[in-house]
């Protein structure tokens, strides 16, 4: 028999309704984690003794636990804190039952299971039914758990389960009101560990992947060999909403298909959002299977059919039981573990045909179907083959063969990166790569079935194939693979040499995985489409950095009319809820680059426009200066799509989290309007403090655009002379929500177009609502986009062409746009401007009483000031290629100052000094402050250190047989350069540690003197390092402004100094722009009209 198809049952989202306005006591739950397992009474005594003072001060008390928890070793103790709630709030639980719907067919025939039954493989009824809730009953009053258990091992002939002989444990996790807590799950998980269960099904989930006690316990289950299967959720067709724990690498995440082999509309789509904003999400779901009209047991007796991913997950769990029963019990769990079982299912899945549909939608791509549809028959053949290989390996071992074949080998998911496999590999195949673009970021999941703990021996190596020399491929990952899984971030860029190349580049990423002596090679093929670098007018920089995601910040939804979704949880990413916008822009011939850090990290002049859509984050002061300068003087344009903001509504809005039994406060509005206003302040553009709504608006209609709703947006309260404003009639949603008033506002300005009045000035377009770009509307409300309006906006920003329906002389056009002859300032009796957020006394309005600062990458809680924490460094560190320099100081008196300065300039990771620790630094100009210097007594010791870093070691020498010319050296990755700074040529000791030698060709006239001499070693070093850093695509980094005139390249951009005279520099740049205008015969300040008169 197979111990353990465990169904963790019954999870449901509570209705989103206001709590009673009267104050009522609430308990806030805390979990104390312990490092070892023991009986509950002992653990409670330990925690109580450690927390006795806090318990008395804060009113902490030990939370009640199920009687079963006192029979099972535990590693946590739950506490409750009594508090009182007084404000209006809404309920939001951490996890939910995945909803189901309502004459069954035989599932075993649809899936081809009967054939395996006839061969004797049936898995091998309910051994225990355990209640982990605080309710003293075991009945399934919801019916969800009974149905899921029936799919696994039901015995009714009309709706038989897939594995009728599986030993089934049923855990009751939800009350009759469908309420559950993390501590109940932890108790049930500990019991599963205690009972030695092998397969665990969860037809539940939630959005909070930062619930660390839960997430870590899932990892512990996998580390103990338990195969976890979880439904991805029923939040489709939206993207980026795969539920936890299905979004974890060590869990098999299951999506749903219809009876027609289409991805079910309700099935949640990937990508995962753990990695945002700094990386790319992982592929989820892993596989899909039937989720429509699945037959199963009814709690009241008989059979019923239900639809939902809750029905899909037990199909996979039961299939695993069937597949496991094909391997003899004594060897079964030596071969089957979370990684090997996921490999079996991925390898045998049938891929659905991906396609482009209307409305800028792609169907059946990898983030919808994972690796394909579950195929039990094919999976059974994979298991049979695995068993045969295992037997062969055992025979080889018994016979004493020197080479025993490896059975369990590492793999990657996806198993390849192929930009020509389109549209299945959406979104990675949506647009080609080109030189100077931000890297294509892809997250690969590494499966390592050979051991629960493995190690990636060295940084993955790029193996070039056809045209592969045009690519710079780097990675970011932990070397540890635990439990059974890991992930690798892959960053792909095009080198400068391929700026005009048009074609396909191929190669492979090579990994070596060490499992305690068994080392396996894993090759991941890459096929990359490259095109010549497009003009700036076709390049769009998407600002991802200034988004604050859930979890764990409470950022309220953008559309207040939508009562189904409480929070902004989709990631606000072009590959999640803005996927239709991504498809529209790429189909229009634009190239979108996703910015994971602040503006000051980039050369913004490469882009035609920067798109800031629905930002919740603050802006660093120096990046505001950088963006403003690019818009004013580098012909870079800016598009801002804002969202609602109202301080009065935010003060009244709270969330009650039923998992922690605590209240959360909204940290900002739909968008951070105060921060947007600061960004636009120098252009005299500002949004107001209020929310408006219109069911239908039409602006900049280019002839093929339909009207669209203006869901919960903001409005403009300030706009500069010479610009154009677009107006709508709208409902005052703030008044309706706060006072029950149905006040209608006429001629509300929501759209603005502005030409910056300088010779190289760009253009600015602002709009008060992002909902018409956001696909995450409720399925009951069809997404109505404003892509036609956006097309007109992009013609204006990127090509300086006004919408065709208006002309400069029009004071009032049919589109509602009017040209401003005077600066627009809102009538304060009708529209509400925000208080000037430059005023330090009202900073607390932005920080929302310090709640905002807890979740902000930009702000720190101390005084709520904007403190630079430097995210540019994140990008630089993604390059796996590093540079080391090795210097000799045997005499103990060498002047190494010039070499330290050179090492700093070329971004050396470390300088190794062999010999005495005392050396001169004349000429270093304090470079030693910025270079990490490491000392070694001899070169052999230095070589051992460098090899641990994965270095190839080059000696800088005169030209000799076998040495490479500096400009043709075939660098492969991290390298070290041994420099002769003391003797005429490398010593024998130095040469002994080198793998290769590099020289700089001497092209001058060869005289008797020159044949004996060579170029100065410092010159040779600089030339060689230039060629190496060009190969490695090191990013250009900031230069310190000091009295030494900026000779040092820093790892980090300098911290913003408020005393720095930025305004003076800006005025100087303005004067230069004025002189350029005068030279070109242009008058200043004529605004937009001067372009078209």
Gap between the Cα atoms of 738 and 599, Å rounded:
38
Gap between the Cα atoms of 312 and 253, Å rounded:
10
Give one word for 300, left, alpha or beta, with left for phi > 0 and alpha for psi -120 to 50: alpha
Structure tokens at 336: 């089957």
Q: Kindly report the pTM of this predicted structure.
A: 0.75
Looking from the CA of 282 toward its CB, the CA atoms found within 13 Å total 24
Q: What is the pLDDT of residues 357-376, one digit of tens each?
A: 988 999 999 999 999 999 99
Q: Does residue 1014 contact residue 1027 with C-beta atoms inside 8 Å? A: no
- CB-neighbour burial class of residue 223 (10 A; exposed 0-12, middle 13-18, buried 19+): middle
Give one word for 925, left, alpha or beta, with left for phi > 0 and alpha for psi -120 to 50: left
Closest CA to 512 of 473, 462, 452, 455: 455
Query: What would the DSSP string read from start to end of 90-112?
Result: EEE-S-EE---------HHHHTT
Structure tokens at 372: 């394909």
- Output the 3-class SS for 705-728: CCCEEEEEECCEEEECCCCEEEEE
Give the DSSP letter of residue 931: S
First to last CA, the chain: 85
Predicted confidence at residue 67, as pLDDT, reads: 64
Predicted confidence at residue 127, as pLDDT, reads: 39
Bond preceding residue 423 cis, omega within 30 of 0: yes
Q: Does residue 8 contact residue 171 with C-beta atoms inside 8 Å? A: yes
CATH number for the domain whose boundaries are 874-1032: 3.40.1280.10
Looking from the CA of 9 toward its CB, the CA atoms found within 13 Å total 31
Structure tokens at 344: 């079996």
Q: Does residue 739 contact residue 704 with C-beta atoms inside 8 Å? A: no
Query: What would the DSSP string read from start to end of 520-582?
Result: EEEEEEEEEEE-PPPPGGGEEEEE-TT--PTTTS--B-S-TT-SS--B--S---TTTTTHHHH
Closest CA to 97 of 303, 293, 306, 302: 306
Low-confidence ranges of the chain (pLDDT < 70): 1-30, 51-70, 76, 79-106, 117, 122-144, 174-179, 562-565, 658-661, 701-705, 778-781, 805-816, 835-850, 860-880, 890-895, 919-930, 981-984, 1004-1014, 1035-1093
Q: Does residue 679 contact residue 598 with C-beta atoms inside 8 Å? A: no
Gap between the Cα atoms of 15 and 70, Å rounded:
33
Predicted confidence at residue 1047, as pLDDT, reads: 41
What is the C-alpha R_g of the chain? Answer: 32
Q: What is the pLDDT of residues 658-696, one digit of tens each?
A: 666 677 788 899 999 999 999 999 999 999 999 999 999
Q: Which fold has domain 3-12+92-357+364-386?
A: Rossmann fold (3.40.50)
Predicted confidence at residue 701, as pLDDT, reads: 67
* 3-12+92-357+364-386 and 536-868, same CATH topology: yes
The fourth-level CATH superfamily of domain 409-530 is: Immunoglobulins (2.60.40.10)
User: How many other CB atoms are there within 10 angstroms of residue 651's CB atom?
Assistant: 15
| Choices 3.40.1190.20, 3.40.50.1240, 3.40.50.410, 3.40.50.880: CATH for 536-868 | 3.40.50.880
Q: Does residue 408 contact residue 449 with C-beta atoms inside 8 Å? A: yes
The domain ranges of the chain are: 3-12+92-357+364-386, 409-530, 536-868, 874-1032
Partners of 567 in the beta sheet?
556
- The helix/strand/coil state of 476 is strand
Gap between the Cα atoms of 542 and 597, Å rounded:
11
Closest CA to 174 of 153, 144, 149, 152: 144
Gap between the Cα atoms of 955 and 961, Å rounded:
13
User: How many other CB atoms are there within 10 angstroms of residue 383's CB atom?
Assistant: 23
């Amino acid at each position: 028999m197979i111990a353990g198809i465990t169904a963790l049952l019954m999870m449901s989202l509570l209705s989103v309704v206001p709590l009673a306005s009267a104050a009522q006591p609430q308990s806030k739950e805390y979990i104390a984690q312990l490092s070892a397992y023991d009986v509950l009474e002992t653990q409670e005594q330990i925690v109580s003794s450690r927390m006795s003072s806090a318990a008395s001060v804060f009113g902490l008390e030990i939370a009640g636990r199920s009687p079963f928890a006192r029979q099972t070793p535990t590693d946590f103790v739950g506490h409750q804190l009594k508090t009182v709630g007084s404000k209006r709030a809404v309920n939001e639980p951490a996890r939910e039952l995945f909803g189901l719907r309502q004459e069954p067919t035989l599932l075993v025939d649809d899936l081809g299971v009967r054939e395996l039954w006839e061969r004797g493989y049936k898995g091998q009824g309910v051994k225990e039914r355990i209640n982990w809730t605080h309710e003293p009953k075991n009945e399934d009053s919801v019916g969800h758990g009974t149905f899921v258990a029936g799919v696994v091992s039901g015995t009714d002939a009309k709706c038989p389960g897939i594995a009728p002989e599986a030993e089934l444990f049923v855990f009751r996790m939800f009350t009759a009101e469908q309420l559950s807590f993390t501590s109940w799950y932890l108790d049930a998980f500990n019991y599963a560990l205690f009972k030695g269960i092998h397969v665990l099904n969860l037809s539940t989930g939630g959005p909070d992947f930062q619930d660390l006690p839960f997430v870590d316990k899932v990892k512990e289950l996998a580390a103990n060999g338990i195969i976890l299967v979880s439904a991805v959720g029923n939040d489709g067709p939206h993207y980026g909403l795969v539920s936890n724990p299905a979004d974890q690498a060590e869990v098999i995440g299951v999506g749903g298909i219809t009876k027609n082999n289409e991805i079910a509309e309700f099935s949640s789509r990937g990508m995962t959002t753990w990695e945002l904003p700094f990386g790319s999400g992982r592929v989820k779901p892993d596989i899909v299977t039937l989720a429509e009209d699945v037959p199963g047991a009814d709690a009241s007796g008989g059979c019923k059919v239900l639809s939902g991913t809750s029905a899909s997950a037990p199909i996979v769990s039961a299939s695993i039981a069937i597949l496991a029963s094909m391997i003899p019990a004594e060897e079964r769990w030596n071969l089957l573990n979370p990684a090997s079982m996921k490999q079996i299912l991925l390898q045998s899945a049938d891929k659905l045909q991906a396609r482009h549909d209307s409305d800028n939608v792609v169907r059946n791509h990898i983030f919808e179907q994972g690796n394909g549809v579950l195929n039990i028959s094919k999976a059974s053949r994979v298991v049979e083959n695995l068993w045969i290989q295992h037997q062969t390996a055992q025979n080889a071992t018994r016979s004493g063969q020197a080479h025993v074949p490896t059975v369990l080998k590492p793999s990657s998911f996806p198993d390849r990166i192929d930009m020509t496999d389109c549209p299945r590999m959406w979104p990675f195949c949506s647009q080609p790569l080109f030189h100077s673009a931000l890297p294509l970021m892809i997250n690969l999941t590494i499966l390592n079935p050979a051991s629960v703990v493995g190690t990636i021996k060295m940084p993955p190596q790029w193996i070039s194939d056809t045209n592969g020399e045009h690519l710079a491929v780097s990675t970011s990952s932990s070397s540890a693979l635990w439990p059974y899984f890991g992930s690798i971030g892959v960053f792909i860029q095009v080198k400068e040499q391929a700026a005009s190349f048009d074609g396909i580049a191929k190669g492979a990423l090579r990994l070596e995985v060490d499992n305690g002596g068994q080392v396996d090679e894993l090759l991941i093929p890459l096929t990359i489409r490259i095109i010549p670098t497009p003009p700036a007018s076709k390049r769009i920089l998407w600002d991802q950095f200034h988004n604050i995601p859930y979890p764990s910040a409470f950022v309220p939804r953008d559309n207040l009319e939508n009562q189904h979704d409480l929070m902004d949880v989709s990631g606000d990413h072009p590959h999640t809820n803005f996927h239709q916008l991504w498809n529209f822009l790429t189909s229009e011939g634009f190239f979108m680059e996703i910015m994971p850090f602040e503006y000051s990290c980039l050369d913004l002049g490469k882009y035609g426009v920067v798109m800031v859509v629905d930002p919740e984050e603050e802006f660093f002061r120096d990046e505001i200066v950088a963006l403003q300068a690019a818009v004013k003087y580098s012909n870079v344009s800016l598009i801002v799509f804002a969202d609602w903001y109202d301080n009065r509504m935010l003060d009244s809005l709270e969330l009650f989290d039923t998992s922690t039994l605590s209240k959360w406060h909204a940290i900002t509005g739909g968008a951070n309007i105060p921060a947007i206003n600061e960004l636009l302040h120098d252009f005299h553009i500002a949004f107001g403090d209020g929310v408006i709504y219109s069911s239908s608006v039409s602006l900049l209609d280019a002839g093929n655009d339909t009207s669209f709703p203006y869901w919960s947006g903001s409005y403009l309260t300030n706009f500069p002379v010479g610009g154009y404003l677009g107006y709508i009639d709208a409902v005052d949603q703030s008044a309706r929500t706060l006072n029950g008033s149905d006040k209608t506002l006429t001629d509300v300005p929501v759209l603005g177009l502005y030409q910056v009045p300088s010779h190289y000035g760009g253009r600015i377009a602002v709009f008060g609502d992002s909902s018409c770009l956001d696909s995450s509307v409720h399925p009951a409300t069809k997404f109505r986009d404003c892509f036609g309006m956006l097309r007109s906006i992009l013609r204006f920003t990127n090509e300086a062409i006004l919408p065709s329906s208006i002309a400069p002389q029009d004071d009032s056009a049919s589109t509602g746009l009017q040209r401003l002859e005077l600066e627009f300032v809102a009538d304060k009796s009708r529209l509400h401007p925000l208080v000037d957020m430059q005023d330090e006394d009202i900073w607390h309005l932005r920080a929302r009483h310090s709640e905002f600062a807890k979740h902000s990458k930009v702000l720190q809680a101390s005084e709520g000031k904007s403190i630079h924490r430097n995210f540019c460094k994140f990008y630089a560190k993604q390059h796996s290629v590093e540079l080391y320099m090795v210097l000799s100081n045997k005499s103990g008196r060498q002047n190494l100052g010039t070499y330290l300065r050179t090492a700093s300039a070329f971004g050396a990771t470390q300088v190794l000094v062999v010999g005495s620790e005392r050396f001169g630094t004349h000429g270093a100009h304090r470079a030693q402050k910025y270079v990490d210097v490491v000392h070694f007594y001899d070169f052999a010791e230095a070589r051992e250190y460098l090899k641990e870093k994965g270095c190839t070691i080059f000696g800088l020498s005169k030209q000799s047989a076998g040495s490479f010319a500096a400009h043709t050296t075939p660098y492969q990755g991290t390298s070290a350069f041994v420099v002769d700074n003391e003797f005429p040529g490398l010593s024998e000791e130095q040469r002994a540690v080198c793998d290769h030698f590099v020289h700089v060709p001497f092209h001058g006239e060869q005289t008797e003197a020159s044949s004996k001499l060579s170029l100065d070693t410092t010159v040779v070093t600089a030339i060689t390092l230039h060629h190496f850093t060009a190969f490695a695509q090191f990013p250009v980094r900031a230069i310190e402004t000091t009295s030494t005139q900026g000779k040092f390249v820093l790892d980090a951009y300098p911290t913003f100094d408020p005393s720095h005279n930025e305004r003076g520099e800006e005025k100087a740049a303005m004067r230069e722009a004025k002189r350029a205008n005068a030279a070109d015969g242009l008058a200043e300040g004529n605004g937009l009209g001067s372009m078209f008169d």
